[in-house]
Structure 1
């Protein structure tokens, strides 16, 4: 098995950020954003080989956790009657998405074929709006040698005023 490096982890986190931008751009251009999102989920999430624990930022209620690719796809691009509350997070037309791993010195832990990150993801929309979410990503080295998410938890930052 190929050892996981911090560079590997940073590359896949950047790929996730780039995927969010790509889905929104294809949607804004009138392209097949659903096919793009599906392919990007296959590239970045371990639904094909394993079990994925996914709690998206804005998911709630009975569909808060997305253990299937169908649920993940709906969260990112909406349109699935099994997930009627989804608005399509990736369709916000994010033009800049970046992350930091700030839970420790470098925010990355590597344990064999698993890597864990914790920090924030930031996204800026085409209209200039910006969000920040707390995130924890867990990546697994898959049979094809690629790192994919096997756990993804994101949430708005805690505010004592809420």
Structure 2
């Protein structure tokens, strides 16, 4: 397993936006790169928390990079939200990732996780937008994977970077 410093992980996720800045239609590779960078950002937030660094700044940078709150409506239904199910603005998303504003939020991203692995069921691309659905797996510090179901919708910003406008995730159904 490769070891990265928190600043190196943040730098690599921020570099994705610059790499995508071009005049082209979204591709499946763009979606996969955005997913991998999003996962690395979640890991970086938890690593910053564990190291006693400014994890809130890491979470703010993550949301700014990956979510389209600055110019679009974002439909965000986090996995571990039941009382305030939907996070329609930046501050509510920040609360979910690091805790704070909303009482039920314990800080999902500060768990921490060591890896996020994606298994796309399918991806639909329409030149300047894309949707992906499947499972993603969050590896805990004990090495266990937590399976979560997701649907993400993306649009391109003016620089060509993918931004999330739909994020719905939930734990798999467990019959009684």
The verdict on a shared fold, with TM-score over 0.5 as the criterion, is yes
State whether structure 2 residue 113 is matched by structure 1 residue 91.
Answer: no
The 1-side partners of 2:125 and 2:143 are apart by 35
State whether structure 2 residue 143 is matched by structure 1 residue 128.
Answer: yes
State whether structure 2 residue 175 is matched by structure 1 residue 160.
Answer: yes
Deviations 1:109-155 (A, max 9, x none): 00131100000010111133321110000000111211010000000
Aligned to 2:67: 45
Stretches of structure 1 lacking an aligned partner (at least 5 in a row): none
The 1-side partners of 2:142 and 2:100 are apart by 23
TM-score, normalised relative to structure 1: 0.92
TM-score, normalised relative to structure 2: 0.85
State whether structure 2 residue 89 is matched by structure 1 residue 74.
Answer: no
Show the 5 A alignment for 1:19-38: 19-38=41-60
User: For 2:49, what is the secondary structure of its paired residue?
Assistant: helix
State whether structure 2 residue 17 is matched by structure 1 residue 2.
Answer: no
Stretches of structure 2 lacking an aligned partner (at least 5 in a row): 1-22
Aligned to 2:120: 101
Deviations 1:56-85 (A, max 9, x none): 001112x110010101110000022xx011
The 1-side partners of 2:34 and 2:163 are apart by 8
Alignment RMSD: 1.0
State whether structure 2 residue 157 is matched by structure 1 residue 138.
Answer: no
The 1-side partners of 2:85 and 2:144 are apart by 24
Query: 1:160 Cα shift?
Result: 1.5
